[in-house]
Amino acid sequence: MSFTYNRTVRFQDTDAARVVYFANVLGICHEAYEESLEASNINLKDFFINPSVAFPIVHASVDFLRPIFVGDKLLISLICQKIGVEKFEINYEITVGEILVAKAITRHVCIDVSSRMKQELPDKIIQWLETNR
């Protein structure tokens, strides 16, 4: 089952054209990712501060289908997928009401923080992936 996250667009998210600045869409998606981790009982402090493994983003893309404005009530749906023993991908669908306004993808690889070498996904992340696919 996919995870959903609600977010209201703030003025600080927008650019001079009064629409959401393109890079901020990825920031909003990352907020949803963090919320999904927390909802799966993954401690965010342990996950992001001095971890033994990390999950850097190695690819990201966004398709904008409609403008997103300040005050819009977003629903971000995450669909996670394991794509290898050390990689996973998150597909995001962003809607306002019933209208799909953007789609995004982030691809992550699991690395050992000390050696910076790829390693297999830990069990807690595999469980998170299963919960949010």
Q: How confident is the model at residue 36 (pLDDT cuts 50, 70, 90)?
A: very high
The pLDDT score that the predictor gives to residue 133 is 86
Provide the CA 13 distance to its chain's centre, in angstroms. 17
- pLDDT (tens digit, 9 = 90+) per residue, 46-77? 999 988 999 999 999 999 999 999 999 999 99
Q: How many CB atoms lie within 10 A of CB 53?
A: 16
Q: Residue 26 in contact with residue 62, Cβ under 8 Å?
A: yes
pLDDT at position 72: 98
pLDDT of residue 1: 60
- The pLDDT, as a whole number, for residue 87 is 98
Catalytic residue set:
15
pLDDT digits (tens, 9 = 90+) for 16-26: 999 999 999 99
Query: Mean pLDDT, the chain, as a whole number?
Result: 96
Whole-number Å distance between alpha carbons of 46 and 58:
21
- What structural domains and CATH numbers belong to the chain? 3-131 (3.10.129.10)
What is the structure's pLDDT at 21? 96
* CB 104, CB 62: distance < 8 Å: yes
Torsion angles phi and psi, residue 90, rounded to 5 = -120, 125
Q: Which amino acid is at 78?
A: L
